[in-house]
């Protein structure tokens, strides 16, 4: 087996120093403090480094010494392949990656997820070489949160959960945003409303597919965001003199391409008089639209449909929805980690949203 002229043993800063007959400090300075030695000596160091195949100070050893890892850890409990197919989550990751790149920090996707046990995932959190964590949209009893907290590193929580001690937060006002949207729907004249939402708890007491949600589950939700959005609808209904209890609430374990359509069926079966179908995510709404259309139900003529997020496809297809700044969320989360507030105290950043009145909402038939 022919090998390149690499010494059998990896070159180190010490071996380089020995070769050059200078001290390790000098070599270190050549890399980290160019102003601490003559240009020519530095040149000599760098060139013999190249000759010996020395790639510069070992990142791990340096991190140990400087106590900085140069990376941010991202904890997303939802399956990654799912996150990567959810445009809203994607925007967030893109924004976070962008802000990390801007300051030369790496972004470490921590190996937590459904393919591994909670113990393994927690171990991955404890073993992550990072300077801080971003936790994205976790449930309030997320199994990895304890491990994240144990690390005693800076933490920024995005969307959920609320009330992580010591953690800064980036989110939107889900309740107010959803209320505005619901007001728009009610103003159009709708009285019988269905609401499709993601699962309200970590547990799933139903069979496969979406199911009517027990109002009980709204009261003790694991996902704060879902809950707030539901309450936003309640708020609008109450303000308009409608009975919130009349809302037909359907929860879906996850956002599959079929979830919206299946959820729509369940809602309409439970209450055939529904004229507006609100959804807590665009992907749900788009799926529902496709399904309704296939069944010959015209949107918005026979059914108003609304979403949440403002993903590109939704805008393109004219969905009435709430746009939230996904990329900006990621960016702000990163910045909060890179430039923590002077006070040292956690901050809460509430980003703006905007109701988009599209072509999928109109007066009831």
Partner DNA sequence: TTGAAAGCGCTAACAG
Partner DNA sequence: CTGTTAGCGCTTTCAA
Q: Give me the residues that bind DNA (CB under 7 A), please.
A: 10, 12-14, 21-26, 28-29, 31-32, 35-38, 41, 56-58, 61-62, 64-67
Is the Cβ of residue 26 or residue 258 nearer to DNA in the bound state? Answer: 26
**187-191 long-range Cβ contacts below 8 angstroms, 24+ apart:** 188/276, 188/304, 188/361, 188/362, 188/363, 188/364, 189/363, 189/364, 190/275, 190/276, 190/304, 190/364, 191/242, 191/275, 191/364
Judged by CB under 8 A, the stretch of 104-112, 134-142, 175-183, 260-268 that binds its own copies is: 104-112
324 binds, among its own copies, DNA, none (CB under 5 to 8 A by kind): none
284 binds, among its own copies, DNA, none (CB under 5 to 8 A by kind): none
Is the Cβ of residue 33 or residue 293 nearer to DNA in the bound state? Answer: 33
90 forms beta bridges with none
Is the Cβ of residue 60 or residue 365 nearer to DNA in the bound state? Answer: 60
What letter would DSSP give residue 7?
A: -
Binding mask 18-37 for its own copies (x = CB under 8 A): --------------------
List the one residue from 16, 17, 37, 110 that touches its own copies (CB under 8 A).
110
Q: Which two tokens stand for residue 359?
A: 């072509």
Could you tell me what percentage of the chain is helix, strand and coil, using 3-state DSSP and rounding each to the nearest 5?
45, 15, 40
Is the Cβ of residue 28 or residue 99 nearer to DNA in the bound state? Answer: 28
Can you tell me whether residue 40 is helix, strand or coil? helix
- Is residue 44 within 8 A of residue 16, CB to CB? The reply is no
Is the Cβ of residue 37 or residue 289 nearer to DNA in the bound state? Answer: 37
Q: Shortest gap between Cβ of 43 and DNA (angstroms)?
A: 11
Is the Cβ of residue 69 or residue 177 nearer to its own copies in the bound state? Answer: 69
What letter would DSSP give residue 363?
A: -
**51-55 long-range Cβ contacts below 8 angstroms, 24+ apart:** 52/7, 52/11, 52/15, 52/16, 52/19, 53/6, 53/7, 53/11, 54/11, 54/12, 54/13, 54/15, 54/16
**Is there binding between residue 14 and its own copies (CB under 8 A)?**
no
Q: Which parts of this chain interact with its own copies (CB under 8 A)?
A: 1, 6, 10, 53, 55-56, 58-64, 69-71, 73, 80-81, 84-85, 90-91, 93-95, 97-98, 100-113, 115-116, 120, 123-124, 126-129, 147, 150-152, 327, 344
């Amino acid at each position: 087996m022919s090998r390149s002229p690499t010494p059998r043993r990896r070159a180190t800063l010490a071996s380089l120093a020995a070769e050059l007959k200078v001290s390790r400090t000098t070599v270190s300075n050549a890399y980290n403090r160019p102003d601490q030695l003559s240009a020519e000596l530095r040149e000599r160091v760098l060139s013999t480094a190249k000759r010996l195949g020395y790639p510069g100070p070992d990142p791990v050893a340096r991190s140990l010494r400087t106590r900085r890892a140069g990376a941010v850890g991202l904890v997303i409990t939802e399956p990654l392949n799912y996150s990567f197919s959810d445009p809203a989550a994607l925007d967030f990751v893109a924004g976070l990656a962008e802000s990390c790149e801007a300051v030369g920090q790496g972004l470490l996707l921590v190996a937590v997820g459904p393919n591994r046990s909670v113990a393994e995932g927690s171990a991955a959190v404890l073993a992550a070489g990072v300077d801080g964590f971003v936790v994205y949209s976790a449930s309030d009893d997320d199994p990895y949160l304890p491990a994240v907290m144990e690390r005693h590193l800076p933490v920024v929580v995005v969307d959920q959960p609320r009330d992580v001690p010591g953690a800064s937060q980036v989110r939107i006002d889900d309740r107010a945003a959803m209320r505005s949207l619901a007001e728009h729907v009610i103003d159009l004249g709708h009285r019988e409303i269905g609401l499709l939402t993601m699962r309200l708890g970590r547990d799933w007491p139903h069979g496969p597919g979406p199911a009517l949600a027990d109002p009980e589950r709204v009261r003790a939700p694991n996902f704060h965001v879902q809950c707030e959005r539901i309450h936003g609808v309640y708020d609008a209904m109450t303000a308009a003199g409608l009975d919130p209890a009349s809302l037909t609430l359907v929860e879906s374990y996850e956002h599959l391409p079929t979830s919206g359509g299946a959820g729509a069926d369940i809602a309409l079966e439970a209450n055939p008089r529904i004229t507006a179908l609100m959804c807590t995510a665009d992907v749900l709404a788009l799926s529902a639209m496709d399904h309704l259309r296939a069944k010959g139900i015209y949107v918005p003529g026979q059914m108003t449909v609304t979403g949440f997020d403002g993903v590109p496809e939704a805008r393109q297809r004219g969905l009435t929805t709430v746009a939230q700044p996904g990329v900006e969320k990621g960016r702000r989360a990163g910045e909060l980690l890179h430039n923590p507030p002077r006070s040292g105290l956690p901050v809460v950043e509430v980003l703006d949203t905007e109701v988009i009145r599209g072509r999928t909402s109109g007066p009831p038939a």
